[in-house]
Chain A
Amino acid sequence: MSTHTLAVEAATIGYDERVVVHEMTLEVPAGRITTIVGANACGKSTLLRAMARLLKVKAGRVLLDGRAIDQIPSREVATVLGLLPQTPVSPEGIAVADLVGRGRYPHQGWFRRWTAQDDAAVEEALRATDILDLADRPVDELSGGQRQRVWIAMALAQQTDVLLLDEPTTFLDVAHQVEVLDLLTDLNRRRGTTIVMVLHDLNLAARYTDHLVALREGRLVAQGAPRDVVTPALVEEVFGMTARVIDDPVSGTPLVVPVGRHHATNPQVETHDLAG
């Protein structure tokens, strides 16, 4: 079970002169899957980047285990916090296993050689993302979906207690999207990894999350279990969309069904849950 805690305290985050996230206070529950959702440009990626220490906060603090994250040495942070960035770059001609192997850097000192443990970690990561067969192929030759899985494997090989993922389902077809999310769930259940991810698909988020965080224009609108958070009122507020919320027949989690201008034979909006 992950014992590392990640939190954000009254953080104002932005780029240059622009403020994107306003005074956000958020505690990430340890050992759970947290998903941040919201409309485009609501600040979810910005928040994640600040938590991953890629962006300096303008005000407030980001706390890892109760300590301000920018006070902690980078190598130490890297052994605890792993990241899947939005637009990674891969060197030309590198083999899949080698690229995934770069994830082992935080665990290797300056002159520490490659150990069997590193090999094992890489193989486990490749197996978990179902790309073990591709281990020796150059990354350039892979499709977008396969490449995304390579990057996820690299983050996994880092074997951190906390994993931050910025839109891990980009480029993946539906089957692989579900596979990746199932994999993350495995990771969470078996090793207790704390997972924080940004997803744009609200339904997948509702299904795979323990703790849902909804943002609008850089402010926290709601957080909690999906059952409590995902209501037609919330969907309206956060996404500006009219929808019905029903129970997913497979998982029992909330399922958002949009009401558009066409094909709405049964648009009656029902309140899903009367909690709060």
Chain B
Amino acid sequence: MTAALVPVAPETPAPGARVATGRRARSRRRRTVLAVLVAALLVVLVVTLCVGERSYSPLQVLRVLTGETVPGASFNIETIRLPRMLSGLLVGLGFGMGGVVFQTMLRNPLASPDIIGVSAGSSAAAVVAITAFGMSGTALSLVAVAAGVAVAGAIYALSWRRGVQGARLVLIGIAVGSMLDSVIAYAMTRAGVYDAAEALRWLTGSLNSAFWAGLGPLAAAMAVLLPTLLALSRRLSALQLGDDSASSLGVRPDRSRLALLLVAVAVVAVATAAAGPIAFVAFLSGPIAHRLVRGTGSLLVPSALVGALLVLVGDLVGQHLLVARFPVGVVTGVLGAPYLLWLLARTNRSGGSL
């Protein structure tokens, strides 16, 4: 039996079909990248729980997590590794998302919160609190958050002149950061050498002080702040096009910028208070995410995932793979620095923005 071949009239493509194919292809690419990032993150999370001075198999970890008491494993996993992992995850998500918001809004990948004085506020307050007042724990974290937000607010206010322009904000931020760095240096000279070393440890950024006690507030804060940023991501996309285009799309530039900055500052301040200013995570998450999902939409979620990966992998490397135990800030600092300089050179050469 032969199947008759019925000639079919060529269909007129539906309006918008041509554009839709391209868009869907880009969407697919983005979803793939995100899926890979999430998968990588899950793997790292499991590894963090398994590996250590005493290593456990994933099965043992699973049993502990589901409530069973496994002798020799439960304490280690529940009391030490799990809070550390969760802190690292939350802090990484925060630095990643907060950092990219700054870089996108100020249209320059070099304008990251740890460069433009935002983290310096938290850091200076923490160092003074440690060396002059001997604070630690929750009190220290609260001081750090409050100071971070206050300094960021001051920088914003100082750069306000009938609206805030990115360039001015960045430069004033650098100046304020410089001033706070000298305050830190001063505090370091006035303290005893052990206090100074403790302050330096805090400044480098580490997950060593991650315990269940501090996790609650951190998780609560992130649970509120991160979704807020995601809700504002549309306005961020509009702001990327310049103030005029954003206005014409119905987004008020000044108001949106203020809202975005406020939330981003809070996120970075909370993350800094929890783990110290972990070097370069906020700086590099955005550019790395950008290279992965190049041009296909909002960078908030990809950057958050990259940030979490950087922190957790950095911690793993620092704790287990080097000659001595180093805090995560050192690892991200040393590995991040050359990449940063290369990125700087590349960005300037192509004159790009995020």
Query: What are the interface flags for B336-353 relative to A under an 8 Å C-beta threshold, 1 for contact and 0 otherwise?
Result: 000000000000001011
Q: Closest Cβ of chain B: how far from A5's Cβ, in Å?
A: 18
Q: Closest Cβ of chain A: how far from B140's Cβ, in Å?
A: 38
Q: Closest Cβ of chain A: how far from B316's Cβ, in Å?
A: 31
Q: Closest Cβ of chain A: how far from B136's Cβ, in Å?
A: 42
- Residue pair B250, A77 in contact (C-beta under 8 Å): yes
- Residue pair B15, A89 in contact (C-beta under 8 Å): no
Interface size on A, residues (CB 8 A): 53
Asked whether A175 is an interface residue with its Cβ less than 8 Å from the other chain, the reply is: no
User: Quick one: given A78-B248, A106-B250, A158-B249, are A88 and B241 in contact (CB under 8 Å)?
Assistant: yes
Q: Which chain B residues have a beta carbon within 8 Å of chain A's beta carbons?
A: 14-20, 22-23, 25-26, 107, 162, 231, 234, 237-238, 240-245, 247-252, 290, 294-297, 350, 352-354
Q: Closest Cβ of chain A: how far from B234's Cβ, in Å?
A: 7
Asked whether A232 is an interface residue with its Cβ less than 8 Å from the other chain, the reply is: no
- Residue pair B247, A83 in contact (C-beta under 8 Å): yes
Given contacts A52-B244, A110-B234, A120-B14, 8 further A-B contacts (CB under 8 A): A91-B241, A92-B290, A92-B354, A110-B231, A119-B19, A119-B23, A123-B16, A155-B248
B353 and chain A: residue at smallest CB distance:
A92
User: Quick one: given A102-B238, A105-B249, are A97 and B23 in contact (CB under 8 Å)?
Assistant: yes
Q: Which A residues are CB-close (under 8 A) to B26?
A: 95, 98, 136
Q: Closest Cβ of chain B: how far from A197's Cβ, in Å?
A: 14
Q: Which A residues are CB-close (under 8 A) to B251?
A: 74, 105
Q: Closest Cβ of chain A: how far from B228's Cβ, in Å?
A: 13
Q: Which 10 A-B pairs have the closest CB atoms?
A: A78-B250, A119-B16, A93-B295, A85-B244, A83-B248, A120-B16, A89-B242, A120-B15, A136-B22, A75-B250
Question: Which residue of A53, A82, A98 has the most chain B CB atoms within 10 A of its CB atom?
Answer: A98
B161 and chain A: residue at smallest CB distance:
A16
Q: Which A residues are CB-close (under 8 A) to B249?
A: 78, 102-103, 105-106, 158
User: Quick one: given A89-B353, A122-B16, A135-B18, are A52 and B241 in contact (CB under 8 Å)?
Assistant: no
- Residue pair A98, B248 in contact (C-beta under 8 Å): no
Q: Which B residues are CB-close (under 8 A) to A94?
A: 295
- Residue pair A74, B245 in contact (C-beta under 8 Å): no
Interface residues of A in 55-106 (CB under 8 A from B): 74-79, 81-83, 85-95, 97-99, 101-103, 105-106
Q: Which chain A residues have a beta carbon within 8 Å of chain B's beta carbons?
A: 16, 49, 52-54, 74-79, 81-83, 85-95, 97-99, 101-103, 105-106, 110, 114, 116-124, 126, 132, 135-136, 138, 140, 154-155, 158
Q: Closest Cβ of chain B: how far from A189's Cβ, in Å?
A: 21
Bound-complex Cα distance A25 to B112 (A): 46
A124 and chain B: residue at smallest CB distance:
B15
Contact of A123 among B18, B294, B297 (CB under 8 A): B18
Bound-complex Cα distance A94 to B350 (A): 15
Q: Which A residues are CB-close (under 8 A) to B297?
A: 98
- Residue pair B352, A105 in contact (C-beta under 8 Å): no
Q: Which A residues are CB-close (under 8 A) to B247?
A: 52-54, 74, 83
Bound-complex Cα distance A177 to B218 (A): 57
Q: Closest Cβ of chain A: how far from B57's Cβ, in Å?
A: 42
- Residue pair A91, B353 in contact (C-beta under 8 Å): yes
Q: Closest Cβ of chain A: how far from B70's Cβ, in Å?
A: 44
- Residue pair A89, B240 in contact (C-beta under 8 Å): yes
Bound-complex Cα distance A154 to B247 (A): 14
Q: Closest Cβ of chain A: how far from B104's Cβ, in Å?
A: 8
User: Quick one: given A93-B295, A110-B234, A120-B15, are A83 and B245 in contact (CB under 8 Å)?
Assistant: yes
B249 and chain A: residue at smallest CB distance:
A105
- Residue pair A82, B248 in contact (C-beta under 8 Å): yes
- Residue pair A98, B290 in contact (C-beta under 8 Å): no
Bound-complex Cα distance A191 to B222 (A): 49
Contact of B244 among A54, A117, A124, A140 (CB under 8 A): A54
Q: Which B residues are CB-close (under 8 A) to A132?
A: 18
A93 and chain B: residue at smallest CB distance:
B295
Q: Which A residues are CB-close (under 8 A) to B23?
A: 97-98, 101, 114, 119
B109 and chain A: residue at smallest CB distance:
A92
Q: Closest Cβ of chain A: how far from B30's Cβ, in Å?
A: 11
Question: Which residue of A16, A82, A120, A124 has the most chain B CB atoms within 10 A of its CB atom?
Answer: A120
Contact of B19 among A49, A53, A97 (CB under 8 A): A97
In the complex, 15 of the A-B residue pairs with CB atoms within 8 angstroms, ordered by the A residue number, are A52-B248, A54-B248, A74-B247, A78-B249, A79-B250, A88-B245, A89-B245, A92-B354, A93-B295, A99-B241, A102-B238, A106-B250, A119-B16, A123-B17, A135-B19
Q: Closest Cβ of chain A: how far from B20's Cβ, in Å?
A: 5
